[in-house]
Copies of this chain bind each other. A is one copy, B any other.
């Protein structure tokens, strides 16, 4: 099987962005609205066409395929991420702000979690973020391949932490207190003493706050671990 690698970002757009009526940007904007409202499965070309008051297949003049459209929408998520100027900010601060705002952006667009593993992040917004991150780690003292390694470690943590968080919010949240859910949990926990202990000693905090705490805990740990590489 000889697959072909293609991406929107490696190709020229079909037309000049300056169209009077529909344009690629408007399509992407509408797609994001649909995605935010109904999730990844809620976006279909027919629905999107209806929202734009056009035929479904008209969209294909601006966009080669649905996946391409998703690539474009995906990169918009990256535009919401703020990264402090690495030339004027300590690298830990850069990483921390990056981490929190990336988590925030993903939580704002839960569908991005499903795209994360599937699509390449080659869009201009994604590139800007990774460019700044790379620079921050280089100025911190990392060199050669370690710059990329450190960046991968940080983003891996953020992704890995936020993806399950989104899954939790979109599937379990709100049904948690149900007696049925409690029964199910008890059944699953049966025979697993460590889990039982965790459930019993769990503080009845707001789960959202707990998740934020968990994120900070791990983030500090990751940054500490990276820092050790610099001083060791």
Q: Do residues A164 and B117 form an inter-chain contact, with CB atoms below 8 A?
A: yes
- Interface size for chain A: under 10, 10 to 19, 20 to 34, or 35 or more residues? 35 or more
Q: Do residues B7 and A146 form an inter-chain contact, with CB atoms below 8 A?
A: no
Contact with B along A191-219 (1 / 0, CB 8 A): 01111001001110000001001100110
Tell me whether A149 and B214 are in contact in the complex, defined as CB-CB below 8 angstroms, given that A10-B188, A160-B159, A167-B117 are known contacts.
yes
Q: Do residues B155 and A195 form an inter-chain contact, with CB atoms below 8 A?
A: no
Pick from A23-31, A44-52, A90-98, A130-138 the stretch touching chain B: A130-138
Tell me whether A187 and B10 are in contact in the complex, defined as CB-CB below 8 angstroms, given that A118-B114, A118-B167, A153-B222 are known contacts.
yes
Residue of B nearest to A196 (CB): B131
A120 at interface by CB-CB < 8 Å: yes
Q: Do residues A120 and B167 form an inter-chain contact, with CB atoms below 8 A?
A: yes
CA distance A156 to B122 in the complex (A): 23
Which residues on the B side are within 8 Å of A144 (C-beta)?
201
Tell me whether A203 and B145 are in contact in the complex, defined as CB-CB below 8 angstroms, given that A160-B157, A225-B225 are known contacts.
yes
Task: Give the Cβ gap from A229 to chain B, nearest Cβ, in Å.
Answer: 6
A64 at interface by CB-CB < 8 Å: no
Most buried by B among A135, A224, A226: A224
Residue of B nearest to A210 (CB): B145
In the complex, which residues 103-153 of chain A have their Cβ closer than 8 Å to any Cβ of chain B?
Answer: 113-114, 116-120, 122, 127, 130-131, 134-135, 138, 144-150, 152-153
A148 contact from B4, B113, B198, Cβ within 8 A: B198
A171 at interface by CB-CB < 8 Å: yes
Which residues on the B side are within 8 Å of A218 (C-beta)?
149, 152-153, 156
Q: Do residues A149 and B217 form an inter-chain contact, with CB atoms below 8 A?
A: yes
A166 at interface by CB-CB < 8 Å: yes
A223 at interface by CB-CB < 8 Å: yes
Q: Which 9 A-B pairs have the closest CB atoms?
A: A160-B160, A225-B225, A156-B160, A221-B225, A153-B218, A10-B184, A159-B160, A156-B161, A134-B194
Given contacts A114-B117, A117-B167, 12 further A-B contacts (CB under 8 A): A5-B184, A113-B117, A119-B167, A120-B172, A127-B188, A138-B194, A146-B217, A147-B194, A152-B161, A159-B159, A223-B225, A224-B225
